[in-house]
Copies of this chain bind each other. A is one copy, B any other.
């Protein structure tokens, strides 16, 4: 009898090992999440009037994306519409508000990916395309390539009828002053591109789930203030700054791009979900807080899983972010 009981206990134990507790999952018919960059933000370096202005911009972007999804359009359309709006808004480091390179130019990077078939488009280092996210989409839809760069990418944009813009469109006093500050700082410290104490990674990004169950993710940025040597960050790198896969999740990242490339952040979150069965929040936490934080890789991600559940994870003091879904839930936040 004792043996029977022990065997019964063993069975129970092994059975318990097999079945992980399942987190309750809600399925939303559509959902959308946005970031407008992460960084060291607090109530001192981000005044209340600025906070209100950023929240209003995020709200407008969110409403645009949510109505697009509500009308039955695709997640790719929603991502493009949201990012186009953020690129045209000079408050963010993407498109119009892009930061300046060391040479006083604006070099723009963007990428987009469809979770349906893993098709993707990316652009690095264009100077004269008004909306890099629309160029990334055009590369995905109209070319055999995934990633185009520099003058060649501009040529492709012109051939495909995209709106071009000259350098005056991208000029903002705030970005130019930040370049002057960064160069002064560099001279004082003798280091190239030292981090500014109030550094904000003002990249923008969006992930959407549409009514057809398709995920899409996109990211757009002006890169780092005072960047040199044709530096490419994580935003146009599929698997680093952007990833989408209907099996798992969509991810858009913002932060110190070099770390996001080395840790293949966006794909790693998806891989943890696909291969280890993690939920989206657990997977994003694992990569941002357990892998990047220990090596001082700062930044964050916004993610949606295939059911429209979100994760907004960052190891900086703030990240401009917003989330909405088909149930009318709405979140707009800046600080932790």
State the A residues within 8 Å of B (CB): 3-4, 7-8, 10-11, 14-15, 17-18, 113, 118-120, 124-125, 143-153, 155-156, 192-193, 228-233, 237-240, 243, 257-258, 261-264, 267-268, 271-272, 275-276
Contacts of A118 in B (CB 8 A): 262-263
Given the complex, which residues of B lie within 8 Å of A143, measured CB to CB? 229
Q: Which residues of B contact A275 (CB under 8 A)?
A: 271-272, 275-276
Pick from B7, B146, B229, B276: contact of A152, CB below 8 A: B229
Q: How many copies does the complex hold?
A: 2
Instruction: Name A124's contact: one of B14, B119, B193, B232 (CB within 8 Å).
Output: B232
Closest CB in chain B relative to A11 CB, distance in Å:
5
Which residue in B149, B193, B272 is a CB contact (below 8 Å) of A149?
B149
Do the beta carbons of B261 and A264 come within 8 Å of each other?
A: no
Q: In whole angstroms, what is the CA distance A261 to B120 when docked? A: 9
Query: Is the Cβ of B10 less than 8 Å from the Cβ of A156?
Result: no
Specify which of B3, B147, B153 is in contact with A261 (CB 8 Å cutoff).
B147
What chain B residues lie within 8 Å of A261 (beta carbons)? 120, 146-147, 238-239
Please pick, from B15, B153, B257, the residue contacting A230 in the complex, using a CB distance under 8 A. B153
Complex A-B: 27 CB contacts under 8 Å? A3-B4, A11-B14, A124-B149, A145-B231, A145-B258, A146-B258, A147-B237, A148-B229, A148-B230, A148-B232, A149-B149, A149-B230, A149-B231, A149-B232, A150-B150, A151-B230, A152-B231, A237-B239, A238-B262, A239-B240, A239-B267, A243-B264, A267-B267, A271-B271, A271-B275, A272-B275, A275-B275
